[in-house]
Amino acid sequence: MIQPPIDLRSDTVTKPTPGMFEAMLRAELGDDVYAEDPTVNQLEDYVAELLGHESALFVPTGVMSNQLCLKALTVPGNEVILGERSHIFNYETGAPALLSGIQLHTLPDEQGWMELPDIEEAIREDAYYLPRTAVIAVEQTHNRAGGSILPMEYLQQIVRLGRAAGVGLHLDGARLWNASVATGIAPAHYASQFDTVSVCLSKGLGAPVGSVMASSKERITLARKFRKVWGGGWRQAGILAACGLFGLQHQMERLEEDHQKAARFAEILSGSPMLEIPRLPETNIVVFKTVGFDLLRLAEIVKTEGVWLSTAFKGLLRAVFHMDVTLEQTTLAAQTVVAALHKEATH
């Protein structure tokens, strides 16, 4: 049994780094419900600029941030076009219906992107008896498609399509940083073309808590109101904002190491005829399937050996690479998965 276990379930499992603890100790604090926390204000200004937007709002989670964005772009009865494998559709507990009274129109997105003609067809014509298409939402990087990167040209085409139809555009950029580091394209270049953007600080950047919504001043004012309505008005949140700022300023470039670990893991797995990797990793996520062996059983076996994988995606196993796992542990984890299957096959 590997000790301590190698936890590859998500990049959210990391603990704050010493630099983050120091930043917390030094953080100037105030009451953010009065917009008086200097560190929160600094983080919001910093992220707004980084994403090329007028304003930003610090919130506890990526789910809240995505939902505030949808709230700001819709009225009840509206419709949102998004991928059937998207986080918003699958893992946000039906919140769009519950919190904004809107319906979701899903399209196939097996590789992470919806086909442009499908989107075009899904946009409703203007008729009193139809729901109004209010938003097209995309995910960068695409979690369930194995951290795949949506190409800039594709995003630009979606934006053009949305603009021509008068439809709002939302970017779930929970892992936008990974896409930026992998491609060298600045976050603002991706994000500024969208009406609303959500980014996470608590994934690859390593902060313990926090996401940020970026948009126009007007929409952020509305989102601030709904953050309060939904119980997310927080007080000396600068203690958390300090970690987020530290992550953005000092732990962004190291995401490249996580991409290398994912590539190493996939390379070792691809040596086994009992494993199939539908898509080679472009960033920090590897999704894979078993061939001729029960997927959940494999996850159980390797867990007893000290390698923790995510089983959250039906029909796929997922390994996510982050700062609390080394390249050596990555190699060991991959070898453990391959050896476990080999052992079962020769049993």
Q: What count of other Cβ atoms lies within 10 Å of the Cβ of residue 53?
A: 24
By beta-carbon proximity to ligand PLP, the closer residue of 138 and 340 is 138
Residue 132: CB minimum distance to ligand PLP, A: 25
Within 230-326, residue ranges assigned H as helices are 238-250, 255-269, 295-304
Contact 113, 142 (CB under 8 A): yes
The CA distance from 38 to 236, in Å, is 10
Least Å distance, CB 339 to ligand PLP, is: 29
Q: Decide: is 200 part of the binding site for ligand PLP (CB under 6 A).
A: yes
Q: Report d(CA 175, CA 49) in Å as an integer.
A: 17
Q: Which is nearer to ligand PLP, 284 or 290 (CB)?
A: 284
Q: How far is the CB of 142 from ligand PLP (least distance, A)?
A: 7
Assess contact for 262 and 321: CB atoms under 8 A.
Answer: yes
Residue 62 vs 244, nearer CB to ligand PLP:
62
What is residue 172's three-state secondary structure? strand
Should residue 63 be labelled a site residue for ligand PLP when binding is judged by CB under 6 A? Answer: yes
* DSSP conformation letters of 103-152: EEEEE--TTS---HHHHHHHSPPS-TTS--EEEEEEESSBTTTTSBPPPH
Nearest distance in Å: CB 302, ligand PLP:
21
Which H helix or E strand runs over 48? helix 38-51
DSSP states along 206-234 = --SS-EEEEE-HHHHHHHHHHHHHTT---
CB 97 within 8 A of CB 41: no
Amino acid present at 211:
S
Beta carbon nearer to ligand PLP, 162 or 210: 210
Query: Is residue 143 a contact residue for ligand PLP (CB under 6 A)?
Result: yes
Selected from 53, 71, 87, 264, the binder of ligand PLP by CB under 6 A is 87
Residue nearest to ligand PLP (CB): 62
Nearest residue (CB) to ligand PLP, 92 versus 257:
92
Residue 135 to residue 126: CA distance in whole angstroms = 14
Q: Which of 109, 172, 258, 282 binds ligand PLP (CB under 6 A)?
A: 172
**Contact between 148 and ligand PLP (CB under 6 A)?**
no
211 belongs to the binding site for ligand PLP (CB under 6 A)? yes
Contact range with ligand PLP by CB under 6 A, out of 57-65, 99-107, 226-234, 253-261? 57-65
Answer yes or no whether residue 90 interacts with ligand PLP by CB under 6 A. no
Q: Which stretch binds ligand PLP (CB under 6 A): 34-42, 60-68, 77-85, 267-275?
A: 60-68
Polymer length in residues for the chain: 347
Nearest approach, Cβ of 56 to ligand PLP (angstroms)?
Answer: 16
Which member of 16, 62, 206, 281 binds ligand PLP (CB under 6 A)? 62
- Determine the Cα–Cα distance for residues 298 and 292; give it in Å rounded to an integer: 11
SS3 at position 157: helix
Bond from prior residue into 151 cis (ω within 30 degrees of 0): no
139 binds ligand PLP (CB under 6 A): yes
CB under 6 A: which stretch of 55-63, 104-112, 154-162, 302-310 binds ligand PLP?
55-63
Looking at 56-64, 112-120, 153-161, 320-328, which segment touches ligand PLP (CB under 6 A)?
56-64
Nearest distance, CB of residue 43 and ligand PLP, angstroms: 16
CA distance 145 to 334: 20
How many residues of this chain bind ligand PLP (CB under 6 A)? 12
Q: Which position among 61, 103, 192, 260 is part of the footprint of ligand PLP (CB under 6 A)?
A: 61
Task: Give me the residues that bind ligand PLP (CB under 6 A), please.
Answer: 61-63, 66, 87, 139, 143, 172, 174, 200, 202, 211
